[in-house]
Structure 1
């Protein structure tokens, strides 16, 4: 196994360990502390950014391994077709073993990269779901008046959830709602100012005010 595929295998083992850590039953306080540490530690944010770049390279390796498996499969199919039609054997014993070995290594690399990418998607989804559960539990305790409910930890969980695409969309939606509220306030102020100016002009001209 080459160096970069060895690194992919190590990353796969690391993902398995992280996944097992996430699904292991833990007390609420411990789990909240862990996710709060993940959301507030700048080193973890840098590691997550580096992992995204790493997965791009793994995707390239996965596409290359699929291409290699396809080419080897075509080579074996053409050899079998030639032998079936009664032609001379295209591949000898040693050559056939060499082709079979290349097929095995290509399939191994394809499965290795594929499972690594698939597990990364599962980890991302599991992380987001656990964050949602923790936020709901924190909100439930706060509504019940539990003094242990910490607003800071809830805010930290919200910030952690905003690391993904869903959190980014929620943040944009909140900003648009805030802008809409500000726009409504400005329209109301302009309407009040317009009415006040109209009342002043009507009083200056001596014309009676119209009932609205």
Structure 2
């Protein structure tokens, strides 16, 4: 198995572990804290952006593996036709085994990439469903008059995609820095304008004193 397919297999195992972690029964408070952390963490937001790029490459590998399976299937059908006519059966024995081996590896890579992409969709849907369940549970607790739910009534309403709040916080901090830099530039321009105005007014006032 080549390096990139080994990485795809490692990603598949990681997705399986994450899926098991999502479906493990946990208390409502722990699960709420976990999903709030996933939503607010900027590290998770960066990982999510990197995973999107990674899944694009995996999709390309999946399409390539499907193409290889199709081409190997055509070669095997050509061998079957030649064997049926009785020609080149002995000569093509080793070649046929080599083609069958390539078919096996191509199918393995296709299944590996396909299951990795499919499990990523399952993980996304499972996350959304669990989040909806947590929101409904929090609404039920608040309607029943639970003080703990009322104190944190809007905590899960802000939770969306993994790392979304963390990404928004980073964007807000960047905009604040840009605004501070812009204010400094405006102040510097205002000071320079005042200085030039003082110089112009001073140069105009000097001849009047001589007169």
- Into which bin does the TM-score normalised by the smaller protein fall? 0.7 to 0.9
Which TM-score applies when normalising by structure 2?
0.72
Instruction: Please tell me whether the aligned partners of residues 72 and 99 of structure 2 are also in contact (alpha carbons under 8 angstroms).
Output: yes
Partner residue, 1:110: 110
Partner residue, 2:201: none
1:162 shift after superposition: 5.4
Separation in structure 1 between the aligned mates of residue 24 and residue 162 of structure 2, nearest angstrom? 23
Q: Output aligned runs, 1:1-212, within 5 Å.
A: 1-89=1-89, 92-150=92-150, 152=152, 154-161=153-160
Q: Which runs of 5+ in 1 are unaligned?
A: 165-212
Give SS of 2:26's match. coil
Which TM-score applies when normalising by structure 1?
0.72
Q: Which runs of 5+ in 2 are unaligned?
A: 164-211
- Residues 123-169 of structure 1: CA deviation (Å, up to 9, x unaligned): 000000000000111111112221111555x54433333569xxxxx
Aligned residues: 163
Cα RMSD after superposing both structures: 1.8
Instruction: Please tell me whether the aligned partners of residues 44 and 162 of structure 2 are also in contact (alpha carbons under 8 angstroms).
Output: no
Separation in structure 1 between the aligned mates of residue 97 and residue 110 of structure 2, nearest angstrom? 20
Q: Which has the higher contact order (CA 8 A, sep 6+)?
A: 2
